[in-house]
Amino acid sequence: ILNNIELLPADALFGIKQRFSQDNREPKVDLGIGAYRDNTGKPWVLPSVKAAEKLIQEDPTYNHEYLSISGLPQLTSGASKIMFGEDSTAAKEKRIISVQSLSGTGALHIAAKFFSLFFKEKLVYLSTPTWPNHKNVFETQGLKTSAYPYWNDADKSLDLEGFVRSIKDAPSGSIFLLHACAHNPTGLDPTKEQWGTILDEIAKKGHIALFDSAYQGFASGDLDNDAFAVRLGVEKLSEVSPIFICQSFAKNVGMYGERVGCFHLIVPRQEPSVDVDSIKKAINSQLAKIVRSEVSTPAAYGAKIVAKILNEPSLTQQWHKDMVTMSSRITKMRHSLRDHLVALGTPGNWDHIVNQCGMFSYTGLTAEMVARLESNHAVYLVSSGRASIAGLNDGNVEYVAKAIDEVVRY
């Protein structure tokens, strides 16, 4: 029974991490996995996280009991507030359902399970390109995935026309996975106006919007700005269809391994005669069954830390500063890399590196160039040309620029 099981290739992103850690050359640079590093190349425990942990451990009621199946209420309510805003109409109308998840991936998994159980049109549209794990998550739940154009390679811009054409052509009721901000891997987000067009077209066709929000606070350093698309979606789609939001706290709180996240579902506005509470009750019961079958109860420790940060004003303030620290260092590195490439006269235009946002730059380097960067220079990035700019620092950026220069000219 076991002898013919197919051997799969290593994970596209974690495979890089593994090769990097086995590489004994010096210097070596990891621009693979999207994880923030400080200016010395080390992982950074945010000051707000340290302060929250201290408060939690000093609390005389500190323990490691189970959370409830839907998660820590202080986390889910705080998470909902930063995602939808203090003045959210959906919140006032009590149309938001939130449950804790194992980071963004766990939330996507809950969404996938929910679609596979209750949605007729089980077709999920993903941007080309997208985070490779999106396809895995939906397909392992028996959903079909399709693609919508996103990236225009020729001028490194958004293919809005192709995107809109896909929305129009998709069977009504299809699910469109949208990156809420800091699109992974391209670092290219639609403008506010383009979001308006995209969401209007989704509404017109009666599609379902599924937002993946993994980088709130990383695109602009500001939580409200980075929730623009989600909030506009809630405004435009509330009369039409439910909206799903998968929220990760891996990056913006720098707690990658603790797996803190939330799954939110916005119930569409109903006729006055409809009992919304009983609809919500039924949905909550189904979500509880999904969570219970998958993880029994959500993970507690990281959730307590994030809940403290979201609910303790002095910690919230510190967290906002921490996000600015991270996002501004990344911006500085974008400029430094671009400037070094320009100074070296590296063939091509490198302005996209500074125009893109979030953790990644879709550099435009080919798979062959990426392979040579790894084999000849010990600089690791994804074969698509995606570089995690967070892996750059004052000590390695010039080395990386020279390595890129060499492979581009080769």
Question: Annotated catalytic sites, by residue?
Answer: 131, 212, 251
Question: In whole angstroms, how close is the CB of 311 to ligand LMR at the nearest point?
Answer: 26
Identify whether the C-beta of residue 389 lies closer than 8 Å to the C-beta of residue 337.
yes
User: Whole-angstrom Cα distance, residue 338 to residue 341?
Assistant: 5
Question: In whole angstroms, how close is the CB of 391 to ligand LMR at the nearest point?
Answer: 11
Identify whether the C-beta of residue 103 lies closer than 8 Å to the C-beta of residue 263.
no
# binding residues, ligand LMR (CB under 6 A): 6
Q: Choose between 137 and 306: whose C-beta lies nearer to ligand LMR.
A: 137
356 binds ligand LMR (CB under 6 A): no
> Tokens 């009621």 appear where?
61
Nearest to 403 by CA among 24, 15, 22, 28: 28
Expressed in angstroms, the distance from the first to the final Cα of the chain is: 48
* One character per residue 99-138, x = contact with ligand LMR (rule: CB under 6 A): --------------------------------x-x-----
- Residue of 20, 30, 31, 33 interacting with ligand LMR (CB under 6 A): 33
76 binds ligand LMR (CB under 6 A): no
215 binds ligand LMR (CB under 6 A): no
Question: In whole angstroms, how close is the CB of 70 to ligand LMR at the nearest point?
Answer: 24
User: Whole-angstrom Cα distance, residue 76 to residue 73?
Assistant: 5
221 binds ligand LMR (CB under 6 A): no
3-state helix, strand, coil split of the chain in percent (to 5) is 50, 15, 40
385 binds ligand LMR (CB under 6 A): no
Q: Choose between 11 and 339: whose C-beta lies nearer to ligand LMR.
A: 11
Instruction: At 296, give phi and psi (nearest 5°).
Output: 70, -75
Amino acid at residue number 385: G
User: Whole-angstrom Cα distance, residue 281 to residue 274?
Assistant: 13
Q: Choose between 202 and 306: whose C-beta lies nearer to ligand LMR.
A: 306
For β-strands 157-158 and 151-152, DSSP reports them as: antiparallel
Question: In whole angstroms, how close is the CB of 131 to ligand LMR at the nearest point?
Answer: 5
The footprint of ligand LMR (CB under 6 A) covers 13, 33-34, 131, 133, 184
